[in-house]
Amino acid sequence: MAIAPILPSSAGKFPLSDYKSLANEELSARITVAREKLGEKLLILGHHYQQDEVIEHADLRGDSYQLSQMAASSKDCRTIIFCGVHFMAETADILANRPEKLVEREGLRVKVILPDMAAGCSMADMAGIRQVEEAWQQLGEVIDTSDMIPVTYINSAASLKAFCGKHGGIVCTSSNAAAVMEWAYERGNRVFFFPDQHLGRNTALTMGFTNDQMPVWNPYEEDLGGNTDEAISGSKVVLWKGHCSVHQMFRPEHVEQFRKNNPGIKIMVHPECPQEVNDIADISGSTGKILKTVEDSPAGTEWAIGTELHLVNRLKKEHPEQEIHFLSPVVCMCATMYRIDLAHLAWACENLVDGDVVNSITVDEETSDYSLVALERMLEVS
Ligand code: 13P
Ligand code: SF4
């Protein structure tokens, strides 16, 4: 089978600066026209945290797990525009271009576009591959790492997913972390979980592990991530010291305040929230679960929801029959998700109509192959 070469990303004939001054109505109309011209060859995927005007143009929307499934099962499209963040676009590139898909398409690669390359994830940036490799090597001086399963949250660079693929590990998302951890304990005695300490801890607590079995690995501490030999030897989960800057803003006092002022209110949070918030919430779950729970609730239900602002505001708008509050008194929005706006989307779409793939995300072959091992394990588990 001839594999089509990976085309380099292009700056496009139409410069981004031409779009920045246009009004949203015009941008939206131009996206719709471009979309029609591209037909089924284009798939626009949108994460639930995207702003309303952007998500309206998504063919499919979902949480991280659902979006990776959508990319994996995409059929006729030749290009995916990913309205989300960098690690999501990388995952889409790996899954949409896995070997059996390339055979089906006679070597033709699906191109994945991230409309703004600056749309990263601050949590994913908290764990670099060199730091993880260094940690693994140091851990191996104290414990038998052949008995330790590395688990990376999908919010991580492809190189970390590849690390997991190489070392008998797996990827998880917020919707399948418990099932993935169980998979890991069927194969090993310990888990090395990165980069989100909160998702790792909240999940391990539901499995009966205790905080004293979960040392936190600080990559900026020279020796054993700031831990003693005993702490590592006695560990069941070693948690990477990473967090989401959005979800760490939710505090237990916000929960208490709502419960005091609004008796009967239900608190629902994302498991990236710290333990002290997650423990006292009524429900904890992925963005997909949060959305479904509201959709399935009767009129009159009152919620305070602790996750990114755009999703909560959309739920408020779409469910006027319920009373929905944002859990924090201060704005908690994902600044990088917000970078994807109509100007970037219109720029990417119109250049694509003209034959130019701007801001294309391509994971190199070796990283892609090993990442796929860890991603496919996840897709099988959940
Ligand atoms: P979900 O998988 O729940 O959509 O979470 C993605 C994310 O980045 C949350 O901060
Ligand atoms: Fe990353 Fe947090 Fe934004 Fe999710 S909300 S993409 S974890 S920074």
Q: Please say whether the beta carbons of 59 and 44 come within 8 A.
A: yes
State pTM to two decimals: 0.95
Q: What are the tokens at 325?
A: 């509050």
Domain 123-240: state its class. Answer: alpha beta
Residue 4 confidence class, pLDDT cut points 50, 70, 90: very low
Q: Please count the residues of the chain.
A: 382
Measured in angstroms, how far is the CA atom of residue 159 from the centroid of ligand 1?
Answer: 19
Q: What is the pLDDT of residues 115-163, one digit of tens each?
A: 999 999 999 999 999 999 999 999 999 999 999 999 999 999 999 999 9
Kindly give the distance from the C-alpha atom of residue 210 to the centroid of ligand 1, in angstroms, as a whole number. Answer: 25
Ligand 1: residues with CB < 6 A are 48, 63-65, 155, 173-174, 244, 270, 272, 286-287
pLDDT at 7: 45
**Residue 1: predicted pLDDT:** 41
Domain with CATH 3.40.50.10800 in the chain: 17-119+337-363, 123-240, 249-326
- DSSP annotation of 358 reads B
* 351 Cα: distance to centroid of ligand 1 (angstroms): 29
User: Torsion angle of alpha carbons 347, 61, 195, 99, nearest 10°?
Assistant: -80
Pick the CATH number of 17-119+337-363 from 3.40.50.150, 1.20.1070.10, 3.40.50.10800, 3.40.50.1820: 3.40.50.10800
Report which protein residue has its CA nearest ligand 1's atom 8.
155
More confident residue, 44 or 331: 44
Q: State which of 173, 268, 307, 315 you would mutate to test the pocket of ligand 1, scoring each by most atoms of that ligand within 8 A of its C-beta.
A: 173
Measuring from each residue's beta carbon to the nearest atom of ligand 2, which residues come in under 6 Å? 85, 121-123, 155, 244-246, 272, 308, 334, 336-337
* d(CA 294, ligand 2 centre) in Å: 21
CA distance linking residue 3 with residue 112, whole number of Å: 17
Is the separation of the CB atoms in 224 and 138 below 8 Å?
yes
Task: Measure 93 CA to ligand 2 centroid, in angstroms.
Answer: 20
Closest CA to 332 of 264, 266, 277, 259: 277
Q: How confident is the model at residue 8 (pLDDT cuts 50, 70, 90)?
A: very low
Question: How far apart are alpha carbons 267 and 303 in whole angstroms?
Answer: 6
Pairwise CA distance, residues 325 & 301, whole Å = 11
Contact, 303 vs 322, CB < 8 A?
A: yes
What pLDDT shows up at residue 75? 82
Mean pLDDT score, 72-79: 89
**In this structure, which ligand is nearest to the CA of 120?**
2
Q: Pick 249-326's CATH classification: 3.30.450.40, 3.40.50.10800, 3.40.630.30, 3.40.720.10.
A: 3.40.50.10800
